[in-house]
Amino acid sequence: MKERCPGYLCERALHERAGGFADYSKDKAYRYISLTCGGCCGRATHRKLTNLVRTIQKKEGIGKDKIVVQLSSCMTNDNYHAPPCPHLAYIKTLLERIGLDVREGTVISQKSEQRRQAGTYHRHG
């Protein structure tokens, strides 16, 4: 996906506090980094985020309790492009081991949501 997707719609969802970001405070400013999993099986998420946790602590004194990993909708939901990531559980286990807050979903397409409700796309368990 990242070979084509610039991540704009996910960033806009955060900007508008919509979709998977609806619970984020509108009164707070958030910083945003868009990472790829590095390719199947997603193991690079552990390397990248361990590096981030270490570096952001060292450079700015920001603890991992201030970091949220928001897994993109194209990973977590059945959608036009593909079913959910087959390595989702594995990736979530990696993130749990780092001790990061993990949430699911970013931009929610109205059309995809209609198709999920109609049963065309399946929600993962």
Given the complex with ligand SF4, which of 87 and 103 has the nearer CB atom? Answer: 87
Minimum CB–partner distance for residue 26 and ligand SF4 (Å): 29
Minimum CB–partner distance for residue 84 and ligand SF4 (Å): 8
Q: Which residues bind ligand SF4 (CB under 6 A)?
A: 37, 39-42, 75, 85-87
Minimum CB–partner distance for residue 90 and ligand SF4 (Å): 8
Given the complex with ligand SF4, which of 2 and 17 has the nearer CB atom? Answer: 2
Contact of 43 with 95, CB cutoff 8 Å: no
